[in-house]
Amino acid sequence: MPRPIFEKCQPPPSLRSSQKNYLAWDISDANGFITTLAEAGSAQPTRFYNSSAPLRTAATLSGAQATPLSSLSQTIANSQKETAKKSFFPNTSSRGVAFWLLGSAASVFGIVVFGGLTRLTESGLSITEWRPVTGTLPPLSAADWDSEFNKYRASPEFKLLNPTMTLDEFKYIYFMEWTHRLWGRVIGLSFVLPAIYFVARRRVSAPLTAGLAGISAIIGIQGFIGWWMVKSGLKDDLFAPGSHPRVSQYRLAAHLGTAFICYATMLWGGLSTLRDRALLADAASGHASILERSNPALRHFRRSVGFIALLVFTTAVSGALVAGLDAGLIYNEFPTMGPGRIAPPASELFSDFYSRREDKADLWWRNILENPSTVQLDHRILATTTLTTIIALWAYSRFNPRVTAAIPRNARRGMMGVVHFALAQVALGITTLLYLVPLPLASAHQACSMGLLTMTLVLGSRLWVPKRSLRLVQSSMAQAAQGAPKVRVPAAARGTPTA
């Protein structure tokens, strides 16, 4: 009695025992599976197709006897081709889309650094109104400048901190804030309009189309958060004696965190597009690359890289709390916080002064988020934890034989890049603290935090197993086995570099 067809298509036990080999069978034997189907109806004995053998060609299939099963396999292939023709979206986005996303990410990188300079020069409260359209132009006449200056002179910051400011000094801080806002508008327009064009021209894949819509929403929300943050520094209650006019540290952290998310999604989208195009340009090479990334020895390492990205983001947001509370101007020493102490006393870290409820139920979280001493200690702990985790992961990739043998060469270089950025970031943070937050060092510290996040995301893209690309590679190899056209890829797919 002949064996059932699906039993004949299973890999032998020796191959199933290896997870890596099983995955190899799963990917590269899509064509072998179809060949086995075609041979199943013949009287000839069928041997399991070895994934290391050359790919079956259309000529091989044409020599097989016409059977119901071979007709079925041909019908499936034709259905796949018809689906590809009917789909509005290509399987991969174009190369131009990838570079546009990377350019947009670079622009966000720049505006984050410039936004830090705007805060460090105390320019953020110089424009007291939010006019998304009419505010595009700066004051053009002496009367316009007098009007803007009078609005600023009515603000808490002028009355309590800058009562002697002249018009020329005001113009400097005004142009800092105006440039920051204009840059944000340019980013919004240079992202949304090209996104619509690329989608309309069918140059964006379906998953990335959803991603572009999400990024567009983030940009709009970010503009609102920016004004919401500035508005917190213009409240009338800041005129009270003892008040210090500045924006809410919570809103500042939200503003920075949203910018980091926007940057990360743009960067990841660009890197992923370049990677997927490289994988699909050559199915055999893409198959080998996916196999390399799918090695079980890299599973924990890959997850740890994601955890590091989360740590970097959290540490950066805690840095925004430090900046919002001017917590970098106290305890300008390291590693101690006071004579012979690693941390201030508990009575200072969890002071009743910051609690607003009679039952003290908010004592802990308010001190953690509003007490400058505690906020600085939190940032130190997070930064030290991030650096320690990165060095530990590097040592794991270096001295664990299984990981060392499995990790791709470009990922090994990426890991070293993460280590270097982490060391530079900690050194800049300590130096900024010791020298009482000078503007150049503080700005470099913020820029380096984005550089560290960038390198972490680059490392992640070199380790990520793209499941959608895996399916497309399988489909491409199966269609190639029948002489069918490969999955639809935009024209410039060939020869693109790996991310």
Q: Kindly report, residue by residue over 273-319, the tens digit of the pLDDT.
A: 998 888 777 767 776 777 788 889 999 999 999 999 999 999 999 99
Last residue of a domain, which of 64, 86, 108? 86
For residues 230-250, average pLDDT: 85
For residues 36-51, average pLDDT: 40
Does the pLDDT at position 477 exceed 80? no
Question: Which of 243, 29, 234 minimizes the C-alpha distance to 128?
Answer: 234
For residues 363-373, average pLDDT: 96
Q: Would 195 be classed as within a structural domain?
A: yes
- Domain assignment of residue 41, given as a range: 5-86
Residues 167 and 101 in one domain: yes
The pLDDT score that the predictor gives to residue 222 is 97
Question: Which of 466, 462, 427, 479 minimizes the C-alpha distance to 448?
Answer: 427
Does the pLDDT at position 374 exceed 90? yes
Which of the pair, 43 or 81, is modelled with greater confidence?
81
> CB of 105 within 8 A of CB of 266?
yes
Does the pLDDT at position 255 exceed 70? yes
- Structurally, the chain folds into a number of domains equal to 2
Which of the pair, 349 or 79, is modelled with greater confidence?
349
For residues 397-406, average pLDDT: 94
Write the CB contacts of 277 (distance below 8 Å, at least 6 apart in sequence).
Answer: 92, 93, 95, 98, 489, 490, 492, 493, 496
Residues 134 and 57 in one domain: no
Residues 163 and 44 in one domain: no
The pTM is what? 0.79
Last residue of a domain, which of 210, 230, 247? 247
Q: Rounded to whole angstroms, how far apart are CA atoms 187 and 202?
A: 22
Residues 78 and 102 in one domain: no
> Is the bond leading into 138 cis (omega within 30 degrees of zero)?
no
For residues 235-258, average pLDDT: 88
Does the pLDDT at position 37 exceed 60? no
Residues 129 and 202 in one domain: yes
Last residue of a domain, which of 55, 86, 117? 86
Q: Rounded to whole angstroms, how far apart are CA atoms 155 and 238?
A: 9
The pLDDT score that the predictor gives to residue 473 is 66
Residues 74 and 114 in one domain: no
Residues 101 and 241 in one domain: yes
Which of the pair, 41 or 468, is modelled with greater confidence?
468
Q: Would 49 be classed as within a structural domain?
A: yes
Residues 35 and 70 in one domain: yes
Q: Rounded to whole angstroms, how far apart are CA atoms 385 and 376?
A: 14
pLDDT tens digits for 437-456? 999 999 999 999 999 999 99
The pLDDT score that the predictor gives to residue 75 is 45
Show the CA angle centred on residue 245, arms to residues 438 and 322, nearest 5°: 45
Average pLDDT, the chain: 83
Does the pLDDT at position 267 exceed 70? yes
Q: Rounded to whole angstroms, how far apart are CA atoms 452 and 414?
A: 11
pLDDT tens digits for 204-239? 999 999 999 999 999 999 999 999 999 999 988 777
Reduced to 3 states (helix: H, G, I; strand: E, B; else coil), residue 202 is: coil
The pLDDT score that the predictor gives to residue 57 is 41
Q: Rounded to whole angstroms, how far apart are CA atoms 445 and 432?
A: 8
The pLDDT score that the predictor gives to residue 489 is 52
